[in-house]
Structure formats: structure tokens, C-alpha cells
Amino acid sequence: MTPSHARLVGNSFKLGYRLQNYWGISIANAFFAAEAGAGIFLIALYLNYRAGMILGLLLAGVVKPYFHVAHMGVPRKSWRAILRLDRSWVSRGAVAIAVLAVCGAATVLDRGFALSAKLGLPPLLGTAVTILAIVAGLVVICYQGLTMASSEAFTLWASPLVPAASVCYALTAGSLTVLTIGWERLAAPERAGLTSLSVILLLLDLIIVAGILSHARRKSRGGAFSVELLLKGELARQFRIPVVLTGLLLPLAIMALAATHRTLVALAWVAMLAGFYAFRLAMLRAAVFEPISHEWSGAIGLPGSR
């Protein structure tokens, strides 16, 4: 339970909680574009839906890098992000984005224009390129969650459920996007399969989000404070309605009860994407640094220790 004295104290020397403010809207945009784009690409690739594959590649390979570089502020030095593959998920993710963009584009061109056959290339080469695109896409949908989970400074992020949320949200966005924009192109069994997959994934999203909050609340005082911010505090309006009600419960109800109507499916799609983006923002904004313990702060005489 959150202590009664708990409060946000900004950059003062008082005892309390301090929000992280380094990762903001640009990073939320980058995370959302990468995960949604890779999820769309993977689902569209499975169904051989080229328009969906192209959309996914544009989001993950163009929109995501734009916002990430904008956040970094020094575009000419952004290439250095790939230099720490041995210890940084950011570096691994940057490489995965590049591989996805190149191999994904090659796969789209090959499937659309049979380039391998026209150029006399062995079929095995095309298969290898497609496999590389799939592996890179899988890395992209989970590496940002793994980056957040590796940061022990923020209890809200330091959970194995955070990368699980990235994967499930990405695949949910992919299934609903392909179902909506490819409605006329997809056969009835494919639409039914995507509908069932969307319902399962939305349920998993809801369970995982609840699990993230439960884990953070039980793990530390900082985690409990973050949960209070999201459920009852300053960020409650940005979490309960956009993330839970609009982004999860509404599309779940539509997909479970009225998924035969294209207009309603499109509504579920828009609501889910809005909730997904709101979730990304909320997870960044609610993260707080763990406070100095009362016992230690009292020993050195910090304000607010009594």
C-alpha cells in the first residue's frame, strides 16, 4: 500500500517520488510505431497480404526511426546505437529494425513480382530472406519491452510481463489492422481466424496489464505509487478510460459479439490502437524512481524524513 506521506517532489531535496522525464512522447511514438508495424507485417506476411506488409514496414522502418532519432537530438551520431550489441537491447533492436526493413522489402518485392525467378536466384535464398524478416520482426515486437524490463530503477517497468505486453499488443494491432484493411481481400476462413485470434489476444492484453499493475504494487513502494497514479491519481483519466475501457474492453466486446459487421470491426480496430498508444504513454509517464528510505534519510537529516 502507498504510504500516507507519499508525494511527487520534482527536483527538490524533499523525501518523495520523482517521475522519469527522459523518455516522453517521441519515445512513445517510436515504441508504438515499431511494435504495431512489426505486428502488422508478421500477420500480413502469414496471410500473404502485401498491402499489410508494406504498411507494417513503413511504420517500423520509417516512422519508428524518425521519432527515435528525433528523441536523440543528434541524427549524425544515431548510428552509434548499434555499437553495443553485447549488452544493449537498444542496439539489438536497431539492427533488427534494419534487417526487417531490408529483408521485409525484399520479401514484398519477391512475392509481388517473383524477382527470385526472374533473376535466376535459387528459391532457398528467397526463403532465407523471408525467415530473416520474420526473426527480425519478432525481435522488434519484444526488444522495447525487454529494454524497459531491464531497468531496475523503475519498478513499474521491471517485470517480465512488460515485454509480454509488447508482444501481445503488437500482434493484436497486427491482427485487427489486417482484418480491417484487408476485409475484402481475405477469405471467410481467414477473417474468422483473425477474429478468434483478436479475441484471444485482447483477453491476454487485459490479463497482462492487470498483472503488470499487480506485480508493481507488490514489489516496492515506488511500484505501488506508480499504480496509484494510474488508477486513482493524476494519471487515472489517461489510463482507466483510454487504456482499459476504450482500448481493451470495448474492442473485446465488439470482436466477441459483433465481428461480422465490418463497421464495428473498424471501430474495434481504432479503439484498440488508441488504447495501445495510451498504454505506451501511461507506462512512460507513471514510472517513478524509488525513494530514499525513511530510516536512511532521517539519519542524514533530509527534509521530509519525519
Other beta carbons within 10 Å of 160: 12
Q: 3-state secondary structure string, 219-270?
A: HCHHHHHHHHHHHCCCCHHHHHHHHHHHHHHHHHHHHHHCCCCHHHHHHHHH
Question: Taking Cα atoms as reference points, which of 43, 117, 25 lies closest to residue 269?
Answer: 43
Domain residue limits, the chain: 18-300
Q: Which CATH superfamily is domain 18-300 in?
A: Formate dehydrogenase/DMSO reductase domain (1.20.1630.10)
Note whether 133 and 140 are within 8 A (CB).
no
| CA 267 – CA 139 distance, rounded (Å) | 29
| CA 248 – CA 231 distance, rounded (Å) | 16
| Cβ-based neighbours of 233, under 8 Å, separated by 6 or more | none
In order along its 306 residues, the chain shows pLDDT tens digits of: 444 445 555 554 455 677 777 777 888 999 999 999 999 999 999 999 999 999 999 999 999 888 766 656 555 555 565 556 556 657 777 889 999 999 999 999 988 877 777 777 788 888 999 999 999 999 999 988 888 888 777 889 999 999 999 999 999 999 999 999 999 999 999 999 999 999 999 999 999 999 999 999 998 888 899 999 999 988 999 899 999 999 999 999 999 998 889 999 999 999 999 999 999 999 999 988 876 554 434 433 444 443
| pTM attached to this predicted model | 0.85
Which strand (E) or helix (H) includes residue 19? Answer: strand 18-19
| CA 255 – CA 93 distance, rounded (Å) | 32
DSSP calls for 155-176: TTT-STHHHHHHHHHHHHHHHH
